[in-house]
Structure 1
Amino acid sequence: MSSLNIIVIGGGAAGFFGAITAAETFPEATVTILEKTRTVLNKVRISGGGRCNVTHACFDNRLLVKNYPRGEKPLRPLLSVFDATSTVAWFEKRGVKLKTEADGRMFPGTNTSATIMDCLFQAARKAGVGIRTSCGVSSMMHIEQGRWQLHLLADEIIEADRVLIATGGYPKVDGYEWLPEQSEPLMSPVPSLFTFNVPNNPLLPLAGVAVPDAKVSIIGTKQEQRGPVLITHWGFSGPAILRLSAWAARDLANVDYRFTLRINWVPTLNENELRNTLQDFRQQNGRKQVVSQNPFGLPSRLWEAFATESGISETQRWADLPAKNLNRLSERLTNSQFQVVGKSTFKDEFVTCGGISFGGLDPQTLESKDHPGLYFAGEVLDIDGITGGFNFQSAWTTGYVAGLAIGR
């Protein structure tokens, strides 16, 4: 009896994890990764500024799933098989200790993604996984006895007993056309985790200035987030903006990324409370200049910009500040509004909202209900997390679950 031939399409995080798990679980099987590009683990290499944000230190799965704008419900039972605790243990067992940063992100202790790549390469080699690069698949079809025939871009044809699709997300629907059709409709892909372009933003000269805590919202929707905001030379970025882009991904695609962004730079206060705070501050600091005295700990350049926009001169003292200027300043601080006219890819964290619907898959194995022997893992699925290690965690989880079942 010939051994089982398992093909994994896609040499990213989910593909490697699925292949390693399959090869370790079914040692008699032949497992091969096919990667379209010349190199594997490309996102692992560049993620987290080249440090690889492996997962997030959230070890309560009920809380962990709340970080996925899409995929929360189907991910819940999968995390009971392989979660963030499992990820930490998996890498530690193979000699890679992870460290936790203040915001919960977990990185290799070496601070370089090469450590994670080496670990995955070694685990794959040890398990006997074959890796073929520059090896794209143009189409695939079922042949006799449930086997698969794969047509490669280089005019080669290979056969497989089982196939795991781990190609990552495609930005457009036609990217999915080479896959066998599923009866469950494909969730049309749109970008997630992107920054906002605000070309007429008066704050553009302050590019590089960051505010550690601000509330950002999209006018006309219930979408809002709170956290660090970074002013960039094209508009706004930072964790709060990226989270907002993820949760509002479909809303923003529907309006072609043209909308009004509201920012409260002092999110602990509403406009009335902030105005009262400024009044108190004026009474206690009457002789000091407004531009040099900032009661909220905001970056001084940002405070100066708000003062200037509110018609306050450099020499204006708090005691002499007219009520109308104080009101303008209050408005700027709690209700700044900006016209967003597009998005920018957030370097290495770009992910896709949409993909293969979970409804067409076995919820415990990620095998296609329509095509036995065909499995899916990673971002090709309709699952995406916010920034902070959550997208890698779903890659490890879905890759592990598919790899565990694929040889049965």
Structure 2
Amino acid sequence: MEPFDLAVVGGGAAGFMTAITAAENGVKRIIILEGTSKLMEKVRISGGGRCNVTNATWIPNELIENYPRGGIQLLESFNRFAAGDVYDWFDKKGLKLKIEEDLRVFPVSNSSADVIDCLRKSALSKNVEILTKFFVKEISKTPDNIFNIFSLKKAKVTAKNIVLSTGGNPSGYKLAQNLGHTIVKPVPSLFTFSTKEPNLDECRGVSIKGIDIEIKLNNKNFQNRGDLLITHWGFSGPAVLKLSSIAARELYIQKYKFNLIVKWSSLSYEELKEKINHLRLNKGKMNLINSRPVPLLTKRLWIFLLKKIGIDKEKKWSDLLADEREKMINTLMRDEYIISGKGPFGEEFVTSGGVKINEVNFKSMESLICPGLFFSGEVLDVDGITGGFNFQHCWTSGWIAGMAVSKLNKSIIN
């Protein structure tokens, strides 16, 4: 059989975007090879089954700030195909999207099935062949630059160009490595923090907006500001997920045992001292439990903090001793927790690691080592924080790879 013009290994978001873009721009014979029986499984389960398609951060310079690794390389990519382009792309294909208050973008239907349906129908309408249960075991390249793709069951597909869109599956890294690429060891990214802090579970469900958190490791300082959620196992929420992504490699080295600093108040020492003195002078007869120097803190959290400091919650403000005031200020400014590991539910859909990015031309997503080999999506050492940024990278890299293959195809025809 005549070789396919393009074989896409991986039937996920990036793989489908690559195949559709190439097909819409003149590439005739395209096949998607998916190792499992299900297509776009990560799309299906993301966002609680709603699929967080992208993030309404329209300006490329602002968009790249949400990628702890690979952001600089993505700047040129996003200048060609960014979040607004993705929004328009789906809109033109009949999938209506909506922007939520936190800028995350979802289908109006709140159903990831509609995203999958849109991509699948778009591919089939352009005669893209889709083959499931074709787990790629080996790829070799002939002297005349044709790729031989062998399945686990020894079936064979040949192609002139190949795109690896295997996500975080270890098989994709092995295939890339066998074709000459260096793999940055993948480690989990986007996870919550577990702690055995006494009584913290009494605050489970408490959410606080705009909290600064910090990790210090091996003379490195990692910080983030955002919404914090207290769970029965420890800490979660956007602030924690982003910080876990920023510090992913160092936390892996530390085996996820470290100290987390929570700044319950952004006020200075003097400002907090003044607020506490104001309460002592003006609300001295009130119990500590009934009046808080930081109104942002919920009553449950304030009781927990008082217990942690060792101050009786029924004590009156006027009876607060000097050393107790000092402890209160220090805790509100820099409260420390011993983190014992990652959260219990394996929230990490994303990994930090993959194909080394300086071995890939980000103008085309083509390998700088093996001509005719392209990459799209999370197989690369690029990862974003939570909020639709990882899918955005999948759409962008898939679109660029598809466009590059189509240009290559046209130059051969001409």
Q: When the two structures are superposed, what TM-score results if normalisation uses the length of structure 1?
A: 0.94
Alpha-carbon distance between aligned partners in 1 of 2:293 and 2:94, rounded to the nearest angstrom: 49
The superposition leaves residues 150-177 of structure 1 with CA deviations (integer Å, 9 ceiling, x where unpaired) of 110122122111111000024x6x8622
Query: Structure 1 299/145 Cα, relative in aligned 2: closer, same or farther at 3 Å?
Result: same
| Deviation at residue 349 of structure 1 after TM alignment | 5.2
Please say if residues 9 and 163 of structure 1, whose CA atoms lie closer than 8 Å, have aligned partners that are also in contact: yes
CA-to-aligned-CA distance 1:21-41 (integer Å, 9 cap, x gap): 1111125x2211111122111
Q: Distance in 2 between the 1:49 and 1:21 partners?
A: 27
**What do the CA deviations read for 1:352-388 (whole angstroms, capped 9, x no partner)?**
1111122222231111122111110000011111111
Other-structure match for 2:47: 48
What residue in structure 1 maps to residue 216 of structure 2? 219
Aligned match of 2:18: 18
2:207 maps to 210
Tell whether 2:263 aligns with 1:264: yes
> Tell me, what secondary structure is at the counterpart of 1:69?
coil
RMSD: 2.0
SS at match of 1:139: strand
What CA distance in whole angstroms lies between the structure 1 residues aligned with 2:237 and 2:230? 8
Q: What is the aligned counterpart of 1:275 among 270, 273, 287?
A: 273
Corresponding residue for 2:31?
A: 32
Q: 1:44 to 1:251 in 2, by over 3 A?
A: same
Which amino acid counterpart does residue 268 of structure 2 have in structure 1? N
Aligned equivalent of 2:186:
189
Which of 146, 160, 176 is the matching residue for 1:179? Answer: 176
Aligned pair count reads 404
Within 2, Cα distance between the matches of 1:139 and 1:42?
23
Look up the SS of the partner of 1:261 in the other structure: strand
Q: Equivalent residue for 1:401? A: 400
> Aligned partners of 2:95, 2:156: CA distance in 1, in Å?
38
Give, in whole Å, the separation in 2 of the partners of 1:206 and 1:82.
Answer: 43
Q: Secondary structure at the match of 1:337?
A: strand
Kindly, what percent of the aligned residue pairs are identical?
A: 40
Structure 1 stretches of at least 4 aligned residues deviating more than 6 Å after TM superposition: none
Q: Distance in 2 between matches of 1:53 and 1:77?
A: 23
2:193 aligned with 1:199? no
Shift in alpha-carbon separation, 1:248–1:126, aligned structure 2, 3 A: same
Deviation string, structure 1 residues 233-283 (Cα, Å, up to 9, x no partner): 2211111111111111112122221111100112x2134422322221222
User: Matches of 1:140 and 1:3 in 2, distance apart?
Assistant: 14
The letter of the residue matching 1:10 is G
Report if the CA contact (8 A) 2:4-2:29 is conserved: yes
Task: Determine helix, strand or coil for the equivalent of 1:223.
Answer: strand
> 1:166·1:376 contact (CA, 8 Å) conserved in 2?
yes
> Aligned equivalents of 2:375 and 2:110: distance in 1?
30
Aligned partner of 1:291 among 286, 289, 292 = 289
- Per mean C-alpha deviation after superposition, the further-off stretch among 217-226 and 313-322 is 313-322
- Structure 1 residues 247 and 201 mapped into 2: Cα distance closer, same or farther (>3 Å)? farther
Superposed counterparts of 1:72-151, under 5 Å: 72-151=71-150
CA distance in 2, matches of 1:83, 1:180: 29
Deviations 1:261-319 (A, max 9, x none): 100112x2134422322221222211211112223221110011112222332421212
Q: 1:307 to 1:348 in 2, by over 3 A?
A: closer
Letter in structure 2 aligned against 1:219: K
SS of the equivalent of 1:286 reads coil
**How far apart, in 2, do the equivalents of 1:361 and 1:350 lie?**
23
1:148 CA drift (Å): 0.7
| 1:3 Cα offset (Å) | 7.4
> Counterpart in 2 of 1:255?
254
Counterpart Cα distance in 1 of 2:172 and 2:402:
24
Does the 8 Å contact 1:261/1:340 carry over to 2? yes
- Amino acid across the alignment from 1:319: S
Partner Cα separation in structure 1 for residue 53 and residue 156 of structure 2: 35
Matched with 2:8 is: 8
Q: CA deviation at 1:101?
A: 1.6
